Structure 1
Amino acid sequence: MSSQAAGWYDDPEDPAQQRYWDGTAWTDQRRPQQGPPAYQSQFGQQRDFPQYGEPAQHGQVYGGPQPQQAPQQDQPRYGQRIPGYQPPPARPQYGQPQYGQPQYGQPQYGQPQYGQQYGQPQYGAPHQPYGHGQPAGYGYPGQRVHTTPDGQLLSGWWRRVFARILDGIIAGIIGLPLTGYFIYQYSKVLWTYFQDTLDRAAAGTPTTSTTLPPEIYKWMIPATLISLVVSFVYEYLFLTKKGATPGKMALGIAVRLRDVPGNPPGSAVLKRYGLYMGIGLLSAIPLVGTLFSFGALLNELWPLWDDKKQALHDKVAETNVVRR
């Protein structure tokens, strides 16, 4: 019996009970028999038939020998530890998913949730930067985006147009105390010229001249020059200090060097503003003004088809208008 594995066996002193054998000696732990006593069971011998309530194994015949079985580990009592005993793995309850399997209604890894398209982030999840995990110039799958070389998103064309309109209004209001008098005199001369033209047409002696009276230029030129100075100071200070004018801030865009993030330097602002306003001034010159007017329009429309979303003045200054 010394080689017998630890477990419950028939008590040699009382056949109506079972006694625990610890592998080397009998202990004082006893329990009632779990079924009727074994038929012709002797101490240390296996029973020829299954215990009461225990199903017969495959190939077992009552009264005959049992098939060879792998030794089973004895389950410890509550609070008792047996060296080498490995408890069986817990089975999931009904409706509970096994380890590594998603719950009912939960998408598997890599699959979108209900109403979510492939490639879109989940609700509340942080957005990945544009171009993350995609070739340069691409955002979400199938979506083409334009960025600077370091990945900052470029502004769309309409944002630039509305920002320019807002800046023109703001700069005009700022310079009004300096240009107001010249604009007033210019308006008076222009109104008088139109009245004379209408009176001549009503009297039957219409004028054939298409040129404006010289006095108009006397007031128009100073007003234009002052407006240009105010506009230049306005744009230069805001771009070099803030990276964006108030109009651009309102539209959520800014100006930067294409290859270097941050506020553009003064030299880049000078080149940018110089070409933009130079084309505008040349378009006001008689005769050749029409050609330069076309150039000014081309400069404004250039970002629509340019792969870097640059206007002509951006290309000269090596700048980009980007989203903040």
Structure 2
Amino acid sequence: MSFGSPNNPYGQPQDPQQPYGYPQQQPGYPQAPQGVPPQQGYGYPQQPGYPGYPQQGGYGYGVQPPYANWGQRFLGTLVDGLVFLVPYILVIVGRNNAALSAIGGLAIIAVAIWQLIQEGRTGQTIGKKALGIRLVKEETGQPLGVGMAFVRRLAHFLDSLACYLGWLWPAWDSKRQTFADKVCGSIVIKTQ
């Protein structure tokens, strides 16, 4: 009984004419059509120009998304701040009541985590949704993801440096980005 060459553990004869990546013709299995490029494995970016592969993300070549203006971004942040008002009042009122103060503190943490998850998954917090704007990746137009949304929140300290100039930067920037947006590769666009 022969199993083929020691370099071929499956015992199938090797055909030097067969292109690499295609299985050899087996009885009962269709042969891969000629001229069709092999599929890429998982984790590899899609290459443009391959037929049958949809192009991923973005807004298309030369198409600019409608950026949210500074006023929309400011009002969205203001609405997000108002969401924290009720739990904050519980903390203030509960200064003499440890249980009420703890409930208010936990509510603040819960709202902050929920807002972060919403922003990462959908690109919208309560304030952004109310103002019709969305946070997305500049390259793909997709939401950032929870981890990157958290990194963006941490990067907002850059906006507060130099007399809070970064918070005002979207008023005159061509892409309406804060410094944190520039670092994280994100933009805020209009959804309506």
**If the TM-score is normalised by the length of the shorter chain, which range does it land in?**
0.5 to 0.7
| Cα distance change on mapping 1:308 and 1:279 into 2, 3 Å | closer
TM-score, scaled relative to structure 2: 0.54
Structure 1 segment 31-70 matched on structure 2, within 5 A: none
Q: Distance in 2 between matches of 1:319 and 1:299?
A: 14
Structure with the greater relative contact order (CA < 8 A, sep ≥ 6): 1 or 2? 2
Please state if 1:250 is matched with 2:130: yes
- In structure 2, distance between residues paired with 1:323 and 1:155: 5
Change (3 A) 1:259 1:230: same
Shift of residue 224 of structure 1? 10
Q: 1:306 aligns to what? A: 173
- Residue identity in the other structure for 2:171: L
Give the secondary-structure state (helix, strand or coil) at the position aligned to 2:169.
Answer: helix
Matched, 1:265 2:132: no
Residue identity (%): 21
Distance 2:65 2:167 in 1: 22
Uncovered stretches (5+) of structure 2, i.e. residues with no partner? 1-60, 97-101
SS in 2 for 1:250: helix
In the alignment, which residue of structure 2 is the partner of 1:168? 81
Match of 1:182 in 2: 91
Q: How far is the alpha carbon of 1:234 from its aligned partner?
A: 3.0
Q: Give aligned pairs, total.
A: 128
Contact map agreement 1:171 1:234 (CA 8 A) in 2: no
Rounded Cα–Cα distance in structure 2 between residues aligned with 1:150 and 1:224: 46
Structure 1 residue 171, shift from structure 2 partner:
3.2
SS for the counterpart of 1:263 is coil
How big is the shift at 1:227? 7.3
Q: Which runs of 5+ in 1 are unaligned?
A: 1-147, 189-221, 281-291
Give yes or no for contact 1:238–1:244 (8 Å, CA) kept in 2: yes
In 2 relative to 1, CA 151–228 (structure 1 residues): closer, same or farther, beyond 3 Å? same
8 Å CA contact 1:257–1:320 kept in 2: the answer is yes
More helix by share: 2
Map 1:1-324 → 2, pairs under 5 A = 150-173=63-86, 176=87, 179-184=88-93, 229-276=109-156, 278=157, 295=163, 297-324=164-191
The alignment's TM-score, normalised by the length of structure 1, stands at 0.34
Tell me the SS of whatever aligns to 1:260. coil
Deviation at 1:257, TM superposition (A): 0.5
- How far 1:172 sits from its partner (Å)? 3.0
Contact conserved, 2:115 with 2:126, CA < 8 A, in 1? no
Structure of larger gyration radius: 1
Structure 2 CA distance for partners of 1:314 and 1:156, relative to 1, 3 Å: same
